[in-house]
Structure 1
Amino acid sequence: MKDIKFAITDIETTGSGIRGNKITEICIIVVQNGEVIDRYSSLVNPSQSIPLYIESLTGINDEMVLNSPQFSEIADEIEKITRDCVFVAHNVNFDYNILRAEFTNIGKEFKRKRICTVRLTKKLIPGLFSYSLGNICTSINIPHFDRHRAGGDCEATVTLFQRCVSLDPEYVVITEMLNRKTGASYLPPHFKDSDFDKLPKGTGVYFFKDKDGIPLYIGKAKNIKTRIKSHFQERSNRKYKLMQATHSIDYELTGNEFLALLRESELILKYYPEFNKAQKKYTKPYTLTSYHNQKGIEVFALHKNKIAPVSWMKFYTREEAVKFMEFVCEKFELCPKYSGLQRGVKSCDHYKIKSCSGLCKDEIGIHEYNERVAQALDFINEYDNSCLLMEKGRNRDEKAFIYLDQGKYAGYGFISNSEDFSQPEDFRNFLIPQKNSGYTDRIVSRYLNTKKNIKRIDLEDQSSKTTSYEPENFFAEIH
């Protein structure tokens, strides 16, 4: 193991992200048995302008690289000097992914095992105030000249790596890092391997946090561990910046997707994390109304912008509104023509609904039809009752409930499977109150209108019932 070669590398680039970033300077120093055995360095013409802020940081400008080789001209030398080496860099994912991208751009593959000296130093020299290259060098007295130039930073990284090897003479830590198969090489530089191992595979919300514990990003997942690992493996500039700022990850299990969506929405509104994109723009919902036409028939209609004296339900896409009304039409044998599903027809001729009441053909009377509409409205009104929506808990021994107060989200809680509410107000002993918002309103609406086999407890009469009709993929559609 001690005979292994380490290609310690530093690059300077045209920007701070990964995508679209081009190399302007590279330095590679090969170390074996603690000794330097080879080196390579060169300025690189990126074939694009170097931004002023990068020029100010590195001192490398367009004129300096004008007559330097392009990456395609030095790729073979880089491949050769790093062949059979472990790729080492301070914050290795940045240098490695930039280099891989340059090789990919010229139709070549670059693949090496790698070690991050940030993670290695945190393991072998714990407790430092900062693990940036400059601060580490200051803390443990490593000479660091020509900062933010490839040669100067690479020389300092070599000395740091040699110092780490002296603290790990049997290569125990280094071997562990090379042999890990959990995707540890993708982990953020400030994030502990052991913390990743502790992440659960259950459903819930998760938090990427900065060094002060402030949420940088909040997400939801069916499998928290798998989803977080996928974040680590993404290579967008935005995701790279998030990974660099992340010092810890926290999570909250919910046991079910519905509550995970609600909690994600609530927590984003509470913390406004820097890396969360704005929640979907709150748009005016489609409103289900009804009115009596000139013949005295009670007619359903869907409106988006009109103000109506009677409002029965809200929908956040026309598709879910139509789907729900198709279900109501079939369940209560109403006419699609009078349910907002068909226009400009003399009699119903719906492609899906074949159980038309016959009113459109004068086969039943208006009074009988309006009685069917009244039954449908009783069914619809149940959606605005105060109720508990029952869902899976965080483990096999419990269940979760979501509390709707007059149809509006008002909180959630967890109870054991053996628990039974003998009185309507018993659930309040377990309730975690929450505020409703336009976003949670949308999530609840989608759940009620598309979820199959909803288990709900109506608090007015303490009855338990299951409501069912054909669903769509609820969890996928919200986001």
Structure 2
Amino acid sequence: MYAIVDIETTGGFAGSGRITEVAIVIHDGERVIDTYESLINPEQFIPSYISGLTGIDQSMVESAPLFKEVAEEMSEMLAGKIFIAHNVHFDYSFLKREFENVGIEFNPKRLCTVRLSRNVFPGLRSYGLGNLCEQLDINIENRHRAGGDAQATAILFEKIIKTAPEIVEAALKRNSKETTLPPNLPKEEYSNLPELPGVYYFHDQHGNVIYVGKAINIKKRITGHFSGTSKHKRNQFIRNEIHHISFELTGNELVALLLESQEIKRLWPKYNQSQKVKSNPWAIYKYEDREGYLRFNVSKRVKGLAPLMTFHAHTDAWHFMIDKVKEFSLCPKLSGIQKTEGACYDLELGNCGGACDGKELAENYNKRVIEAILSFQQGADKSFAILGEGRTEDEQAVVLVEKGVYHGFGFCEKGMQMMNLDDIKNVVTNYKTTAEIDHYIQNYTSSVEAQIIELDV
């Protein structure tokens, strides 16, 4: 038995919108045997553009039942049925959330008439419900109302199941993925995804890249985008717009991170937000106070002031400074990592010489500060290569840093001896660095698994 469902809502995302109307058509595969239709009080404002589309305004739902008042009846009607809708994830995600709110578990088998139609009626100009019904001579009465759209979807499903029952049967198999994939994504593209590290691209119907991501396992990560009820509005929009997926293998996670950052900056995809924001890195500054003590300040970078060091995140700058305080026996207060009116907290513990309390002369204290500053850049201008797993068993990845600046990555034969800069440059493609890339390399080179070769310049 099938339950063909259509809903109207206050918005396009189940995390913030609510249902305003529900229609259910119970179908046995040959004919309609029962129907249900009701307006629902969403307990929130219906935007005017939604009312313009559906014809449902605030006055129409004020006296309608709340979802919790009809939840039990709908749950019983849907129980044991295969849940069908046009772009099924949309209707399912709203109903699942509403049922969860009243303590009812809802996890039916699902079929999407968009995906089924693409398989059964290939080559049509559009698979939106209105255009699809027009091309298949299905009359829709009361378009954009739950009842009218559900009835039209029921007729569409009848045509699908009569034309190709084997496709419906195949879609219901446990591992088919037909119930979770985006409506416009060809299943074969999903099936051909590798379970390897790399960068993946989501394309819209015009071929434009709308999202770039990285993964240790591309197929597993992409499956995560589309399975279950998404908690992110962005993922709901991506589901509706994605038509194709492409990918680039990278061999390992570090190269995937580097390529992802570069591609986001190059392509500027509409649904990548985090790396589009202009970076405002943190920095360490030096100054001399009125008593002649050299001090440090950890803050966001200030235009026009020359920092001693810059960092991608506050925690990176903070931990760097804490390590220098320990290494050179500096005062935590004068180093900008303790905020207190009097002496630092370490003075009583014997871990501070007393510069913050005037017990240590500025001349003596400043010598250690200068030593610490000289150590800041030690190794920062080194040239080195980071080696990692390649895209095949016979290949290795190479990331080049020249005089402290990231220059790019490439791939070469595994075991190839590379001890000078020219060797590396022959296999590396040049790319510009970003604040994110500097952060990735800094983190990776401090990890125990890093395989680093220092180079002769």
Please state which band the TM-score falls in when normalised by the shorter chain.
Answer: 0.7 to 0.9
SS at 1:109 equivalent: coil
> Could you tell me how far apart the structure 1 residues matched to 2:187 and 2:237 are?
19
Partner of 2:453: 457
Query: Whole-Å Cα distance in 1 between the matches of residues 3 and 313 of structure 2?
Result: 55
CA distance 1:289–1:433, change in 2 (3 Å)? farther
1:186 equivalent in alignment to 2:180: yes
Of 182-191 and 51-60, the range deviating more from structure 2:
182-191
In the other structure, the counterpart of 1:394 is: 391
Deviation of the 1:373 alpha carbon: 4.8
2:418 aligned residue (415, 418, 421): 421
Q: CA deviation at 1:126?
A: 1.3
Q: Distance in 1 between matches of 2:192 and 2:184?
A: 16
- The one of 141, 156, 167 aligned to 2:163: 167
Q: Which deviations, in whole Å up to 9, do the C-alpha atoms of 1:194-235 show, x marking residues without a partner?
A: 222222222222222111221211222222222222211324
Amino acid of the structure 1 residue aligned with 2:384 = C
Corresponding residue of 1:410 = 407
Tell me if the contact between 2:420 and 2:456 (Cα under 8 Å) persists in the aligned partners.
no
**Unaligned segments of structure 1, at least 5 residues:** 355-360, 462-479
* Separation (CA, whole Å) in 2 of partners of 1:188 and 1:75: 27
Match of 1:176 among 170, 173, 181: 170
Instruction: Give the letter for the 1:211 counterpart.
Output: Q
Please tell me the root mean square deviation across aligned C-alpha atoms, in Å: 3.7
2:210 corresponds to: 216
| Structure 2: tracts of 5 or more residues without a match | 353-358
Shift of 1:165: 0.9
Cα pair distance change 1:166/1:390, threshold 3 Å: same
Contact residue 10 and residue 89 of structure 1 kept, 8 A: yes
C-alpha displacement at 1:145, in angstroms? 2.3
Q: Does 1:203 align with 2:197?
A: yes
Match of 1:436 in 2: 433
- 1:18 aligns with 14
Corresponding residue of 1:469: none
Partner secondary structure for residue 421 of structure 1: coil
What's the secondary structure of 2:274's corresponding residue? coil
- The structural deviation recorded for 1:303 is 5.2
Contact 1:18-1:236 within 8 A present in 2 as well = no
2:67 maps to a residue whose letter is: F
Letter in 2 for 1:113: K
Aligned residues of 2:395 and 2:411 also touching (Cα < 8 A): yes
Partner of 2:91: 95
Structure 2: how far apart are the matches of 1:438 and 1:212? 31
Any conservation in 1 of the 2:82–2:108 contact (CA below 8 Å)? yes
Which deviations, in whole Å up to 9, do the C-alpha atoms of 1:350-387 show, x marking residues without a partner? 99999xxxxxx99xxx9xx98x959x958943221233
**Paired letter, 1:397:** D
TM-score by length of 1: 0.79
Check 1:154–1:390 CA distance in 2 against 1; reply closer, same or farther (3 A cut). Answer: same
What is the aligned counterpart of 1:241 among 237, 241, 249? 237
Asked if 1:152 is matched to 2:148, the reply is: yes
> Following TM superposition, by how much is the alpha carbon of 1:71 offset from its aligned partner in structure 2, in angstroms?
2.2
Relative to 1, partners in 2 of residues 1:384 and 1:71: Cα closer, same or farther, differing over 3 Å?
same
Match status 1:63 vs 2:59: yes
Mapping of residues 39-50 of structure 1, within 5 Å: 39-50=35-46
Q: What amino acid maps onto 1:187 in structure 2?
A: L
Residues 42 and 66, structure 2, Cα contact 8 Å, conserved in 1: yes
SS in 1 for 2:83: strand
* 1:82/1:320 CA distance change after superposition, 3 Å: closer
Are 1:320 and 2:322 counterparts? no
* Contact in 2 for aligned 1:392/1:398 (Cα 8 Å): yes
Contact 1:320 1:446 in 2 (8 A): no
Paired with 2:6 and 2:81, the residues of 1 have a C-alpha distance of 15
Cross-structure match for 1:264: 260
Q: Deviations over 1:275-316 (max 9, x none)?
A: 12232652243247799xx99x9x895654589999764333
Counterpart Cα distance in 2 of 1:60 and 1:226: 40
Q: Is the 8 A contact 2:112 2:178 kept in 1?
A: no
Q: Greater CA deviation, 176-185 or 187-196?
A: 176-185
Structure 2 Cα separation of the partners of residues 268 and 391 of structure 1? 23
TM-score between the two structures when normalised by the length of structure 2: 0.83
Which of 49, 57, 75 is the matching residue for 1:53? 49
CA distance in 2, matches of 1:281, 1:310: 19
Which residue in the other structure is 2:355 paired with? none
Shift of 1:53: 0.7
Name the aligned partner's letter for residue 418 of structure 1.
G
- Secondary structure at 1:381 match in 2: coil
- 2:356 aligned residue: none
- Aligned to 1:115, which of 97, 100, 111? 111
Q: Which amino acid counterpart does residue 203 of structure 1 have in structure 2?
A: P
